[in-house]
Amino acid sequence: MKITYLAHSCFLVETSKARLIIDPFLTGNPLAPVKAADVKVDYILCSHGHEDHTGDALGISKRCDAPIIANYEIAEYFGAQGAKTHGMNPGGAHQFPFGRVKFTIAHHSSSVNAGLNPVYLGNPCGLIIQADGKTIYHAGDTALFLDMQLIGRLSLDLAMVPIGDNFTMGIEDAAAALDLLRPKVAVPMHYNTWPVIAVDAELFVEAAARTDHTVQVLKPGESLNL
């Protein structure tokens, strides 16, 4: 399994059977290493409704004829706009041709068009993907929560965790999350895209190392193989 960081919380996951993109936000992302128009995928997964996680979902879905896998409300929202979708919700898993996807809880919010008339799009989620004998967890946007220890029972090969603070866990809580998740390796996400979530990822590496956790910082466009 090959994981490529596409900045913010967006990752390309290449399994032996399919190419997946998680939380596509390339258009308007100052750090994005690729253009949405150049992405070729078989599936799109969205953790929650915010535009910095779904901004390119509809466009990529239609161009690639790729289903959007997301919570029920997001699936209905994009389904009504002509996308193929597969709706799920926390605690639910489904076997797809490439592997198994399970939705987890996350502590955050989930909407689009924030302002006078926000559209609320269900509950925010995290994602567990099992494929090619590997188990990976994308935490979405979330606060630290103790139930992460349940996710940690899965012997995670990789955890993608937000560290940017303000909207999500900051470095201190993300390091504490690793005590619960105990992944073989963690990759930080949701930081440095804008000044309000600017942090030094090396401080996360150091905080995690103090409790014997391995962190790999990926620059936008960089990959790791599991």
Give the gyration radius of the chain's Cα atoms.
Answer: 16
Least distance (Å) from Mn ion to the CB of residue 189? 9
Could you give the CA distance from residue 76 to residue 68 in angstroms, rounded to a whole number? 10
Nearer to Ni ion, 123 or 130 (CB): 123
Burial class (CB in 10 A: 0-12, 13-18, 19+), 143: middle
Chosen residue from 141, 171, 182, 213 binding Mn ion by CB under 5 A: 141
Could you give the CA distance from residue 153 to residue 156 in angstroms, rounded to a whole number? 8
Least distance (Å) from Mn ion to the CB of residue 50? 5
Query: By the 8 A CB rule, do 161 and 11 touch?
Result: no
Q: Restricting to residues 200-219, name those near Ni ion by CB under 5 A.
A: none
C-alpha of 106 from chain center: 11
Nearer to Mn ion, 88 or 169 (CB): 169
Nearer to Mn ion, 110 or 130 (CB): 110
Query: By the 8 A CB rule, do 44 and 75 touch?
Result: no
Least distance (Å) from Mn ion to the CB of residue 140? 8
Least distance (Å) from Mn ion to the CB of residue 3? 19
Q: Restricting to residues 134-163, name those near Ni ion by CB under 5 A.
A: 141
**Site track for Mn ion across 11-50, x = CB under 5 A:** ---------------------------------------x
Residue 50 engages Ni ion in binding (rule: CB under 5 A): yes
Q: Which does 157 bind (CB under 5 to 8 A by kind): Ni ion, Mn ion, none?
A: none
Closest CA to 56 of 111, 10, 13: 10
C-alpha of 10 from chain center: 6
Backbone CA torsion sign across 98, 179, 46, 124: positive
Chosen residue from 52, 56, 157, 165 binding Mn ion by CB under 5 A: 52
Q: Which residues pair with 189 in a beta bridge?
A: 162
Point out which span in 65-73, 84-92, 140-148, 197-205 binds Mn ion (CB under 5 A): 140-148
Least distance (Å) from Mn ion to the CB of residue 155? 27
Least distance (Å) from Mn ion to the CB of residue 97? 29
Could you give the CA distance from residue 101 to residue 39 in angstroms, rounded to a whole number? 21
Residues that bind Mn ion (CB under 5 A): 50, 52, 141
Residues that bind Ni ion (CB under 5 A): 50, 141
